[in-house]
Structure 1
Amino acid sequence: MGEIAVGRILARLGPEWTVLHAVPVGAGASDIDHVLIGPGGVFTLNTKNHSGQSVWVAGRTLMVAGKKQRHIANSVHEAVRAAKFLTTAAGEVVPVTGVLVIVDAKSLPVREKPADVVVVTDRQLLRWLNRRRRVLTPEQIAGITAAAILPTTWHRNPAPDGDITTLQQGFENLRKLVGRARRRRAAWALALVVVLVIVLANVVPMLAGVALQSLMHR
């Protein structure tokens, strides 16, 4: 769901950008969420959906709801891997910047910026990309793009293209399931609050009465 949200944001980039989604890499089932090629350079985007959670960054350390995660290290690995593949396919050195995109987080304080990856929220992503200074010429963009759109650049045994309509319908069904689950969770939380209020409304007067009787007997 986070990748779909970021994909919609990337669709708002100008025509000078090429955006690839869910790029299979290596020999197994691993993929890169998004690969971007444009005037501002080449980027791999690692998307993480942490809806409503607190995310904290300090250098190479990233915590989600108080638990350490490997998102930054994984983002660095993806960028290095992509640079290797594209350099081989394009026949020239292709630097790649790793970007970690945190979707829908409750908060994202960055105490210290990581040295080798960029961390942004989904709301910051488009502005950050549009502010990149031009580092690639149109000729370089064309050459890198020609290499990047070949499945064999990324994967040893690329699978045939799937049915996009069926895939999109599957994600739409998933979105509906997630929405229903969130509404159910909210309903249970509200019911718990109501029960607590009812219990307190009955228990507090009773305890007050017991305390009053105790004082009167003294």
Structure 2
Amino acid sequence: MTSELPPQLPLDSPAPTSSTFGTVAAASVMAECLRVQADVPPRGAVARRFGRSPLSDESRPWYVGALGELDVASRLDSLGDEWTVLHSVPIGTRGSDIDHVVVGTAGVFTINTKFHEDARVWVGSRRLLVNGQATDHLRNTRYEATRTQKLLSAAAATDVPVGGVIAIVGAKQITIREQPADIAVLDIARLTRWLKKQKPRLDESQTAALSTLVRDAATWTSEPKHETDVSGFDALHREVVGAKRVRMIWGGALLIAILGVSVQMALDYFGRLLGG
């Protein structure tokens, strides 16, 4: 049973971050993004000139999801040496993974990153809504925390406290009506501060033992690790950022042109008044 816990995209994103035992942040999301993007035809000269995004409607959700996980990973990596931080932790035998796992004196936390660009998020004790629509975020995060608790407790031969956290990225508004009893829902900006404020539950030796345990890939899965094409995702990211910059340049040029015409019309108008 899990422990009870108290209650717009930037132009650039963090570089992929390595975890303790060799995977990288957002590994599975990047892989799926590249898999879907592989079916998208390359942009032509005109599309590149006018800054059309290389992403398709199908690959874009995976792309922004990866950026969300990379953002969370970058913040978690700043926690300090007293914390152990892992990303894209493989679990089980079906290719599933946990976005982030952190270990400190407050215990173990699984962190489920959810990117909801410009959305309104509402949180109640039993529901999490995005733009008024129900989600499975609470259920899925609870399942990840419970599964992690069982795995770590079995490996450690003692009960290991595990809490579930949902990190919200990119939302326009987050309304916390009531925090769920067993899941903490947090805006990404509050994540590391919240972790550091949790009351200690483990002593130094217990924390060190758990840190060693979570670093062991055998704790999580018996499947071989699959390499992530980080350079491929980085190249795609550079292309997306470049296209956005081109659109910004065109937008600025258009605005200048509109303002120029408006100023000239005003000058002409006042000129006629003065001349008349």
What band does the TM-score fall into relative to the shorter chain?
Answer: 0.7 to 0.9
Question: Which residue is equivalent to 2:34?
Answer: none
Question: Which residue is equivalent to 1:203?
Answer: none
- Cα distance in 1 between the residues matched to 2:207 and 2:100: 17
Contact 1:102 1:122 (8 Å CA) reproduced? yes
- Cα distance in 1 between the residues matched to 2:223 and 2:243: 35
Name which of 140, 145, 169 aligns with 1:103: 169
- Structure 1 residues 186 and 59, CA gap change in structure 2 (3 angstroms): farther
- Ranges of 4+ aligned residues in structure 1 off by more than 2 Å: 160-163, 169-187
* Structure having the larger proportion of residues in helix: 1
Query: Is 1:17 aligned to 2:83, yes or no?
Result: yes
Percent identity reads: 42
Deviates more, 1:178-187 or 1:93-102: 178-187
How well do the aligned residues superpose, as a CA RMSD in angstroms? 2.4
Contact 1:39 1:137 (8 Å CA) reproduced? yes
Deviations 1:32-88 (A, max 9, x none): 000000112110000011121111111121111221110111010000000000001
Question: Which residue is equivalent to 1:79?
Answer: 145
- Cα distance in 1 between the residues matched to 2:167 and 2:225: 28
Query: Is 1:160 aligned to 2:225, yes or no?
Result: yes
Q: Which has the larger radius of gyration?
A: 1
Larger relative CO (CA 8 A, sep 6+): 1 or 2? 2
- Cα distance in 1 between the residues matched to 2:137 and 2:240: 23
Question: Which residue is equivalent to 1:119?
Answer: 185
Name which of 54, 60, 70 aligns with 1:4: 70
Instruction: In structure 2, give the amino acid aligned to 1:88.
Output: A
TM-score by length of 2: 0.62
| Matched residue SS, 2:138 | helix
CA drift of 1:174 comes to: 4.2
- Structure 1 residues 181 and 87, CA gap change in structure 2 (3 angstroms): farther
Flag structure 2 segments of 5+ consecutive residues without an equivalent: 1-66, 253-276
